[in-house]
Structure 1
Amino acid sequence: MSRRFDLRAAVFAAALLLSGCTPSAADTGELVLKVGDQKGNAQSLLSSAGLLKDLPYKIEWSTFTSGPPLLEAASAGAIDLGGVGNTPPIFAAAANAKITVVAAAKGDASSDAILVPEGSPLTGANALRGKQIAVAKGSSAHGSLLLVLQRAGLSITDVKPVFLAPAEAFAAFTQKRVDAWAIWDPYTSQALLEAGARVLVDGAGVANGYSFQVASRAALDNSRKTGAVKDYLSRLAKAQHWSDTHRAERAKAWAAETGLSLPVAEAAVARGVDLYQPLTPEVVASEQQLADAFTAAKVLPGKVNFAEFVDNRFDADIQATLR
């Protein structure tokens, strides 16, 4: 698995190089922080909070469909850091990726939901046995699906996962080529509002609701980059808290940045925003439990020691900024 991860990461890094996603200011000595983002999330959040002004470095943004490819890019050094859900770091750790979790946040786990199409006869998690479920492999929705099935007395082998990126999964779902879709916001809200979807079961009370900022080890080995990472994480935590008290503004910025309809963005924000959470032993233990669940289900080939991929050196500075 490690060799496969390294190969994909190398190919992804080459693709980024060919597409021009390299620091254009490298020759001038300007500090460039390469940040991976999903669905305009961090960029629109920081922008709407007014926290992208007067940066002592330049940010170059790259957009990813989900967490796993973002972490492949980070492991290859093609980006310096980026935000992902609770499951991608576990899969990356299992592949011995060159990444480190450097900050955490906690949100409403109900945004990770298993949806069924309009008119579906399915009425509960028990009804998923033998059904085709679209899900992004290694994503937070994959973790939520595993835990929901376990709570219903099922295993991942009792269903038929169809591993698709969100855009492809949305098409398969709306065309009823799959029986259900395990997904996260804003796709959850989009499917509910625009595709007539129904929540079969969500991650509330099952998933831990954590998300993480994950850095490449190459960036953490660079003292200039490390300073930029610290500043970025502090700004992001401030933006998260700003969004909690300015939800209407957050929704408008998110819609404008991504092309989401305003009602979809408003619904996603109304469900709750991610707020900074220190990387405590409790956070690490919760992630370890999720990793162990994947190992027990034989989705991962061996045990993952999640703590080995965590570095909380930035927490004190982030907390000082918030105070």
Structure 2
Amino acid sequence: MSVPLSVLDLATVNGSVADSFAASVELAQHAEAWGYRRYWFAEHHNMPTIASSATSVLVGHIAGRTSRIRVGAGGIMLPNHSPLVIAEQFGTLATLYPGRIDLGLGRAPGGDQNVIRALRRDLSSSDQFPQDVVELQALLGPSAPNQLVRAIPGEGTRVPLYILGSSLFGAKLAAALGLPYSFASHFAPAALEEAVRAYRSGYQPSQEHPEPYVIAAMNVFAADTDDVARAMFTATLRERVKLFLRPGVTLGEGDADAVLASPAGQQVRQMLHYSAVGSPAVVKEQVEDFVRHADADELIVVTNAEPAARLRSYELLADAWGLTG
């Protein structure tokens, strides 16, 4: 199976934030050498274990330390920003790193209601998402006669846009606008099949994208042995449990395992439903099955593990998939 593979990095904090950024640079450089197509960061806020809040800054940081791999946002949560600011930021990136910058767009806030207030936004901001995407498209396109506001840099760069989603809303919007669609099946698997069907069946061809294009996200835990891979996966499940705790509350491994064994723990397990876990041959088969199931044109991979194990997982997957640098 020949679909391209890409990397989704949450800049997970292992040690210090500086350590996290250094690990991202190392992974991106290796991913480029191994033949991954793109390297994306996702915007999150107020999460102690995720350091990708200033997404456009990290995109530039990684693009400046690589030479060929596409780098971008998977994605920018557009309701948090004005389209003009994002057009200027990504227009600047596209000018500095021509032909290498992607801009994925989501409508979630990337945080809770406290974050929304701190960003000086409100819950209704997401209602403007379709109009904001169209405005952003226009700002990144050629200038129009008598245009009062222009993105400089930005206009004329035509930074490639991708609609991100985990429901039918994003699928239908991407189809209507003739844009590629990326589904967040690595943590919200429920609507994958229905959303992809809706996107493909309703797709309206555009000049830039005459055909629909689906990127599906999957968790991959590859290791030299099945036991090591399963241990990586279990550690990730335990960390997911901790995300649901109140601030200041801690759990040991035994307590986390007890939660995972309870009915409440099934929600955590369901979030990671689409996960490939095992040695390279096992993972390759599971990934192939998922690509067929998702009807995907490209797979973007998430591996949450300590840096050395994460690096090894991506290396083993690249080798098993037959990627070439």
Which structure would you say has the larger RCO, counting Cα contacts within 8 Å and 6 or more residues apart? 1
TM-score with structure 1 setting the length: 0.29
TM-score with structure 2 setting the length: 0.28
